[in-house]
Amino acid sequence: MPNATFSMKTNDKLKSQRRLWGVVSSSQFLHEVAAPRFHESISRLIELWRVRSNINKHQPFRATDDLKSTALEAIGAISLGLDLGMLQQDMQRANPKSRLSPNKGDLESCRDGPLLVHSMEILLQCLNWVTTSASVRLSKWVIGHLSYFQRAQAAVTDIFNSEINAAFLRIQSQDGNQRHPRCGLQEVLKRNSMLYNNHSIQDEIRNELFQFLIFGHETTSAGLGWALKHLTDNQAVQTRLRSALVDAFGLDEPGLLATSDITSADVPYLDAFIAEVLRVSYPGPVAFRETITGCQILGVDIPAGTPVLLVTGGPSHLLEYYTDYGSGRKSKRWDTNFAPLGQFLPERWMRSDGTFNAIAGPSLPFSTGARGCFGRKITLLEINFMISMLLLSFKFPELESRLSTYGSTDAQIRRPTQCYVKPM
C-alpha cells in the first residue's frame, strides 16, 4: 500500500490525502451513513447469536469470527455501499434453515463479495508475515513472488477499480444519491471533484480503500473481542454498565435501540469502559515513526532518519514505578493509590462528579499527532454501538477459566487467542 496514508511520509501529499478522506470522519457522515450501517450489522449479529445459543443449548461458543464478519460487513457497506453477505453466510453455516433479516433494501449484494473477502484475508496474512519477520526486505521480496499473493492482489485491484469506475459514472450522471446508497468512496470522489478538479487519484483511492477496509475491521473486531472478555470476567462492571445504558436511554428494561438513540446519548461509564479496554488490551500494539531531525528519547541521542517503534502497551505500561530518564520533563501519571494499573477498572477514567475524563492518564490506543489513527472516530462509534446493543440484548455470564485465558496473537493487530461468549 505505498499510496495509502499509513505508508506515506509526513509531507504535503499525505496532508492532501488526509484532507480528501476527512469526509468519512465528519460528524455528518458518521451520523447519517456510518451509524445506520453499524446498527444494521449488529442487529444481524444479535439474530445470529440467538440462533447459535439455541443450537448450542446456551453453551459457550467462539465469537472471534462473528465479530470479524460484523465489523467487515459494516465497513464494506460504509466504504463501498455493498452488502458483503458475511453474516448471512455465517447464519447458513450455523443453521441452513435460518435466514437473517434482509438489509434495508438500498444495499446492493456484492457479487464478488466472497472473492474480495478471501483475497483481503490473504493480503492481510502476508502483511502480518512481513511485519513480524526478522527481515522485512527479504519477506517482501519472497511474498511478492508467491502466486497466491499475486492472484489476491490482482483480484482486489480489479474489484476496487470496478467500484471506483461505477462510482465515477454515478456522480457524472448526477444520480449518485438516488440509485445507490451514500458511501465513503462516493463522498471521497465528490470531494476530489470539488477540491482538485477531478485530478486522477485512482491508485491512491485504491490503496486507501484497502487500508480502510483492513484496519477498519481488524482493529475494531480485536477491540470488541477484548471488551467481551472483560465484560464476562468482570460481572460487577457488566451490571453497572448495563444499568447506565438503561438509565441513559430512558428504558424500563433492556431492549433494542434506534440508531438515533445511540448517537445522541451521553453515557460516561460506557466511554470509561471503552477507554479502559483499550488501555489494558492495546489492539494496536505499535506505532511506526521516523525521526526527521536529531533528537533525544529518554536521554538517548537519536540521529535523523532513524526508524522508531512506539510501543503503545505492554508490561512496562502497567508498572507503578519506573525511572524517568528525561531531563526535567513533566508527564501525566496514573494515580496508583486509586487502583493497581494491572487491574481492570473503568472507574479510573471517571471524575468525582460522574463525568468521563479522557486524559485521566497516559494511554495512546490510536497514537497521536499528525499521524494518529485516521479511523479513530469511526472505530469508537462502532465499539459504542456494539457494546450498547449487545448488553441491552444479552447477559454474558462468567465462563470457566479454561475458556478465558488472556493470551494474544500479535502482528499488525493484537487480538485475543480466546474469545468465547455465552449470551443469555
Binding residues for heme: 373
DSSP H helices, 133-234, are 136-144, 147-172, 184-196, 202-233
Question: What burial class does residue 205 get, using C-beta atoms within 10 Å of its C-beta: 0-12 exposed, 13-18 middle, 19+ buried?
Answer: buried
Give the gyration radius of the chain's Cα atoms.
Answer: 22
CB atoms within 10 A of CB 236: 7
**CA distances for 48 relative to 82, 99, 253, 298, angstroms:** 20, 9, 22, 50
C-alpha count within 13 angstroms, C-beta hemisphere, residue 229:
27
DSSP secondary structure letter of residue 350 = B
DSSP secondary structure letter of residue 248 = H
Give the residue ranges of the annotated binding site: 373
Distance CA 139, CA 133 (A): 7
> 410 forms bridges with which residues in the sheet?
414
279 is written with which cell numbers? 488501555
Do 168 and 189 form a contact (C-beta atoms < 8 A)? yes
Distance CA 366, CA 249 (A): 28
C-alpha count within 13 angstroms, C-beta hemisphere, residue 384:
25
Label residue 197 left, alpha or beta by phi (over 0 means left) and psi (-120 to 50 means alpha).
left
Do 286 and 309 form a contact (C-beta atoms < 8 A)? yes
3-state secondary structure of 61: strand
Distance CA 110, CA 83 (A): 6
330 is written with which cell numbers? 513533566
**What is the maximum span of the chain, computed from C-alpha positions, in angstroms?**
67
Nearest to 271 by CA among 302, 293, 248: 248
Distance CA 397, CA 233 (A): 8
